[in-house]
Amino acid sequence: MSNLSLVITAIAGLSAAIAGCALPAKTRVHAAVAFTWGACIAALVGSLTVLHTGHAMVLNSSRILPLTGVTMVLDPLGAVFVVVTAVVAIASTLYWLGYASHGLSTRTASAALPIFVTSMLLVPAAGSVATFLWLWELMALSSLLLVLVDQRRREETRSAAQWYAVMTHVGASAILFALVMLSAHAGNQTFAAIRIHAVHLPAAVRNTAFLLALVGFGSKAGAVPLHVWLPKAHPEAPSPASALMSGAMVNLGIYGIVLVGDRLLGGGPAWWWLTVTAVGVVSALFGALHAATSTDLKRLLAYSTADNMGLVLIGVGASGLFATTGHPAIAAIAMVSALLLTVNHAAFKGSLFLSAGSVQVATGSRDLDGMGGLLRRMPITGAVFLVGGLAIAALPPLNGFVGEWLLFQSLLHGLPTSSTAVAIAVPVGVAALALTGGLTAAAFVKAIGVGFLGRPRSEGAATAHEVPRTMQLGAALLAGACVVLGVVPMIVLPALERATAAAVPGAPAHSLRSSVELRLAGLQGVLAPALLAAGLALAFIAVIAIRRLAQRRSHLRLALRRAEPWGCGRELQTARMQYTATSFAEPLQQVFDDVLRPDRDLNVSHLAESRYYTEKIAYRTSIGDVVEHNVYRPMIGAVNAWGQWARGLQNGSVHRYLAYGLVVLVVILAVIV
Amino acid sequence: MEAMTIRSILQAIVHPRTVTEDLGPPPQVAADVPRLAGSLQLRHVDAGSCNGCELEITSTFGPVYDAERFGARLVASPRHADALLVTGPVTKNMVGPLVKTFEAMPEPRMVIALGDCARDCGVFRGGYGVEGPVGDVLPVDLQVPGCPPNPEAIVRALRGLTGR
């Protein structure tokens, strides 16, 4: 009975794509959105049922795909990811209604977006290698189409799409190798059969499969050094698509790593998980550092995605590590924290990307250095961005705080109990987490302070207007989720515990005891997010009340005089004299100069009459990606050089081609004879 | 000063005392000048001075005269200041910044014209770049005469305001 929801999801998603493709321009988007919501709600109902009962949902059909058939198994672990995807998709498609007029109402886009959503809803439910790869590829291709939407107008979009296409397919082929290898050894391509057989696999096969899966899924999750596509493709994609990519698609990379490492292979040696943790630490630091120094709003958010996925990977790695050292309770808490961080990230990054899209629509630019004063002109979008920014900086009472608190607890409590490797990895993880937290806060102080406060720095920012209601509502929906998850995380924790029980072998059924406050079973850690929120609210109300009272008493009344900002007595103060995103990040850039390697260019031109007088000083600085520059560029260069060399073979002369044929024939004959 | 015995040194460590001569009670100032309760935060603006007054101000807040022991302090922003300490004749270029600085100060606020130039333009009277004395631009509460006024005079004036 219950697999009905998977069928409805698929059918509704397909209908949305057909509607988006076939209907006339006026009704296209509305119909596609309505059908996509149908798919999302069906998936939501199905996965919530799975999470509630704890029983997997199974669908088998040999008629849909030739040769392999379709096997769908939605277990609690997958259901968590389906719920996240569905919620982000509902918000993003709501936003799409208002955004459609900005180049996202073409037939291709209206068909690709529902397919993208539907495939993401179904990927976690895939129960066999063929089904999984089909859906995975569908997701990659439909998102590629969405990245390409603006390609006629912008040169960068094409380049970003190329990077994305190559990286996602390198990843997909790594996943393909890993899964096919496992299924070949198992002799059956369903995940259930692979899981049973995995125990008997030789260590070399297990190791290769895991590392290939880590590369494949890591590239999807934006793990450094496979992240290079992420800060290119996410900013170039239209905002509803970037919210979906950043809020839902990257999560599936995490899902894949947990699926292969924990579910299919049933855990592994400590070095697997140390590798995962190390990748997480590097991604978190690298992403946070670049987010703190980016001046492009959406690029900042994209790097921050790499940062957050790094944190999730630290959680996943720590969970695997504690499971191998025989601490399933702490492993379970680490896994719950990783899942909670994933859920949180979807909520705040979705809202941030959607509101960044609104800013882009309103100002016509993504450059923070040209913004300013947007909070006054776009109050709702600004408030949503503020909530998202506070949440991502992990400030209570919002959701980021609860997730990072849990991760810290699991890491700190894992410390005194185990081997040398853990004893080294865990403090490094904790330190990385702390530094990442600080850098993320700096990044979002910059984004909010420079973008939304102060005075407008450009014509676009000065004439910005609030965007349509549907766009505000779409972004606000996810910001609301941030607040709810922050104040009452208990509503999702039982579900995450079920999912953890499916992923971590030997995990206790209840690793967290929660009513009003959050208690960690077996550890000394208590957090009461609701009380914390209530305390903050009370303090806020108290300050306002005291102010009101003071104003009523005449002798306490605050003498209020409005004066212009103090500018050292300068006669002329312009918006250009404010801190910009670049100048705010400059000290950080100086400190991390060796990691960021910024490209600086200073040009001083003098007057023709005398070299003692400068006519113009031009200063240009840009921060490229070190990994891209030092790893990928040489690789691309080598491929190009090889291609150039091979061109010499093809010079257009028929005689030479005939000679090639003759030589090959002779060689073949010689070999055969 | 009493003889330096080990006992006196230990006593000085346990009960440190201010080592200073007795300066007597603070001087009286005119009744219309606002009196402060022991603390005076000063923002100094050079409105066109020859820097003679600046040297004396530096000396006033240096280790010898140390005006801070009487509660007077130089601060870095008019937002923090109780009083504006103006030196020099007000030049045409400094009229705007001087007024802006005054307006940036919280109320109640005072203006001290330090030196003869600030009081009546001194030797610069009639100069082509000179707008006029400080009193033409801002309401002056206290004047410190001298070209330049010596640190003792400045300390005396500040003590009159802080009452210490």
Structural domains of chain B in order of their starting residue, each with its CATH number? 34-162 (3.40.50.12280)
Lowest mean pLDDT segment, chosen from A290-294, A306-310, A486-490: A486-490
| Identity of the residue in A559, A561, A569 whose CB atom sits nearest the CB atom of B100 | A569
Report which residue type is found at A97: L
Higher pLDDT, A208 or B5: A208
What distance in Å separates residue B104's CA from the closest CA in chain A? 7
Cα–Cα distance for residue pair A638/A206, rounded to 1 Å: 32
If you count them, how many residues does chain A have? 673
Q: How many CB atoms lie within 10 A of CB A538?
A: 10
What distance in Å separates residue B97's CA from the closest CA in chain A? 4
Which pLDDT does position A508 carry in this prediction? 74
Residue A632 · residue A228 · CB < 8 Å: yes
Cα–Cα distance for residue pair A237/A160, rounded to 1 Å: 9
Cα–Cα distance for residue pair A269/A381, rounded to 1 Å: 47
- Tokens 């697999």, residue? A3
Mutual orientation of helices A270-293 and A203-221 as an angle, nearest 10°? Answer: 10
A498's tokens: 């079920």
Strands A518-520 and A526-527: antiparallel
Does A316 lie in the same domain as A439? yes
Strands B72-74 and B40-46: parallel
Q: Which residues of A touch B78 (CB under 8 A)?
A: 566
Which pLDDT does position A528 carry in this prediction? 81
Q: Is the pLDDT of residue A518 over 80?
A: no
Contact of B80 with chain A, judged by CB distance below 8 Å, is answered with no
Which pLDDT does position A2 carry in this prediction? 59
Name the pLDDT band for A352 (thresholds 50, 70, 90). Answer: very high
Task: Flag if B79 and A570 touch (Cβ within 8 Å).
Answer: no
B94: nearest CA in chain A? Answer: A569
To test the contact with chain A by mutation, choose from B43, B75, B86, B100 the residue with the greatest count of A C-beta atoms within 10 A, namely B100
Name the pLDDT band for A479 (thresholds 50, 70, 90). Answer: very high
- Tokens 């410190």, residue? B144
A271's tokens: 């070095």
In a domain, A8, yes or no: no
B106: nearest CA in chain A? Answer: A561
Task: Flag if B97 and A566 touch (Cβ within 8 Å).
Answer: no
Work out how many domains chain A is built from and give that number.
2
B102: nearest CA in chain A? Answer: A569
Which pLDDT does position A1 carry in this prediction? 44
Which pLDDT does position A523 carry in this prediction? 66
Q: Is the pLDDT of residue B16 over 70?
A: yes
Higher pLDDT, B40 or A515: B40
Mean pLDDT of A281-294: 94
Q: What is the 3-state secondary structure (H, E, C) of A39-93?
A: HHHHHHHHHHHHHHHCCCEEEEECCCCCCCCEEEEECHHHHHHHHHHHHHHHHHH
Side-chain half-sphere CA neighbours of B98 within 13 A: 30
Does A607 lie in the same domain as A482? no
Q: How many CB atoms lie within 10 A of CB B123?
A: 11
Contact of B96 with chain A, judged by CB distance below 8 Å, is answered with yes
In a domain, A354, yes or no: yes
In a domain, A563, yes or no: no
Range of the domain at A641: 597-673
Q: Is the pLDDT of residue B17 over 80?
A: no
In a domain, A305, yes or no: yes
| Identity of the residue in B77, B98, B107 whose CB atom sits nearest the CB atom of A566 | B77
Q: How many CB atoms lie within 10 A of CB A51?
A: 23
| Identity of the residue in A566, A569, A571 whose CB atom sits nearest the CB atom of B79 | A566
Q: Is the pLDDT of residue B1 over 70?
A: no
A27's tokens: 């009704």
Number of Cβ pairs < 8 A linking chain A and chain B: 21
Can you spell out the DSSP letters for A509-540?
S-SEEESSSEEETTS--EE-HHHHHHHHHHHH
Q: How many CB atoms lie within 10 A of CB A455?
A: 16
Strands A614-622 and A599-606: antiparallel
Task: Flag if A571 and B96 touch (Cβ within 8 Å).
Answer: yes
Q: What is the 3-state secondary structure (H, E, C) of chain B?
A: CCCCCHHHHHHHHHCCCCCCCCCCCCCCCCCCCCCCCCCEEEEEEECCCCCHHHHHHHHHCCCCCCHHHHCEEECCCHHHCCEEEEECCEEHHHHHHHHHHHHCCCCCCEEEEECHHHHHCHHHCCCCCEEECHHHHCCCCEEECCCCCCHHHHHHHHHHHHCC
Contact of B91 with chain A, judged by CB distance below 8 Å, is answered with no
Cα–Cα distance for residue pair A250/A257, rounded to 1 Å: 11
In a domain, A27, yes or no: no
Q: Is the pLDDT of residue A102 over 70?
A: yes
B100: nearest CA in chain A? Answer: A569
| Identity of the residue in A566, A570, A571 whose CB atom sits nearest the CB atom of B78 | A566
Cα–Cα distance for residue pair A127/A661, rounded to 1 Å: 48
Contact of A563 with chain B, judged by CB distance below 8 Å, is answered with yes
Residue A478 · residue A88 · CB < 8 Å: yes
Higher pLDDT, A201 or A516: A201
Q: What residues are paired with A437 via a beta bridge?
A: none
User: Considering only CA atoms, which of A267, A257, A252 is closest in space to residue A213?
Assistant: A257
Q: What is the CA radius of gyration of chain B?
A: 18
What distance in Å separates residue A558's CA from the closest CA in chain B? 12
Does A315 lie in the same domain as A374? yes
Does A483 lie in the same domain as A385? yes
In a domain, A668, yes or no: yes
Distances (CA, A) of A629 to A421, A459, A597, A623: 32, 34, 10, 11
Cα–Cα distance for residue pair A411/A433, rounded to 1 Å: 10
3-state secondary structure of A295: coil
| Identity of the residue in A559, A566, A571 whose CB atom sits nearest the CB atom of B104 | A566
Mean pLDDT of B154-161: 91
Cα–Cα distance for residue pair A235/A298, rounded to 1 Å: 5
Contact of B77 with chain A, judged by CB distance below 8 Å, is answered with yes
Task: Flag if A570 and B104 touch (Cβ within 8 Å).
Answer: no
A190's tokens: 């369903």
Buried b (16+ CB within 10 A) or exposed e, B32-67: eeeebeeebbbbbbbbbbbebbbebbebbbeeebeb
Angle at B56 between CA B52 and CA B59, to 5 degrees: 140
Alpha-carbon dihedral sign for residues A395, A398, A399, A405: positive
Does A273 lie in the same domain as A361? yes
N-to-C CA span, chain B: 24
3-state secondary structure of A504: coil
Which pLDDT does position A417 carry in this prediction? 59
What distance in Å separates residue B101's CA from the closest CA in chain A? 6
A332's tokens: 């379970």
What distance in Å separates residue B28's CA from the closest CA in chain A? 30
- CB-count burial class (<10 Å; 0-12, 13-18, 19+) for A349: buried
Strands B40-46 and A518-520: unpaired
User: Considering only CA atoms, which of A46, A51, A59, A34 is closest in space to residue A9?
Assistant: A46
pLDDT in tens, B70-97: 899 999 999 999 999 999 999 999 999 9
Contact of A569 with chain B, judged by CB distance below 8 Å, is answered with yes
B148's tokens: 């330049």
Does A290 lie in the same domain as A436? yes
| Identity of the residue in B79, B103, B107 whose CB atom sits nearest the CB atom of A559 | B107
- Largest alpha-carbon pair distance within chain A? 112
Does A365 lie in the same domain as A429? yes
What distance in Å separates residue A555's CA from the closest CA in chain B? 15
Mean pLDDT of A193-221: 92
Residue A213 · residue A178 · CB < 8 Å: yes
Does A531 lie in the same domain as A469? yes
In a domain, A96, yes or no: no
Q: Is the pLDDT of residue A254 over 60?
A: yes
Mean pLDDT of A410-430: 77
Report which residue type is found at A475: A
Mean pLDDT of A31-45: 94
Contact of B93 with chain A, judged by CB distance below 8 Å, is answered with no
Report which residue type is found at A542: A
Looking at residue A580, what DSSP letter applies?
A: P
- The pTM is what? 0.86
Residue A505 · residue A335 · CB < 8 Å: no
Does A500 lie in the same domain as A607? no
Does A526 lie in the same domain as A406? yes
Report which residue type is found at B64: V
Looking at residue A417, what DSSP letter applies?
A: G
Q: Which residues of A touch B97 (CB under 8 A)?
A: 568-571
Lowest mean pLDDT segment, chosen from A65-79, A112-126, A465-479, B45-59: A65-79
Q: Which residues of A touch B138 (CB under 8 A)?
A: none
Does A315 lie in the same domain as A445? yes
Mean pLDDT of A317-332: 86
Average pLDDT of chain A to the nearest whole number: 89
Does A637 lie in the same domain as A529? no
Task: Flag if B97 and A561 touch (Cβ within 8 Å).
Answer: no
Mean pLDDT of A641-652: 88
Cα–Cα distance for residue pair A29/A32, rounded to 1 Å: 5
Higher pLDDT, B43 or A595: B43
State CA A570 to chain mean position distance: 45
Distances (CA, A) of A142 to A132, A137, A245: 15, 8, 11
Side-chain half-sphere CA neighbours of A426 within 13 A: 26
In a domain, A151, yes or no: no
- Largest alpha-carbon pair distance within chain B? 65
Residue B110 · residue B35 · CB < 8 Å: no
Q: Which residues of A touch B75 (CB under 8 A)?
A: none
Residue A529 · residue A397 · CB < 8 Å: yes
A130's tokens: 């063929």
Percent of chain B whose predicted confidence (pLDDT) is above 90:
65
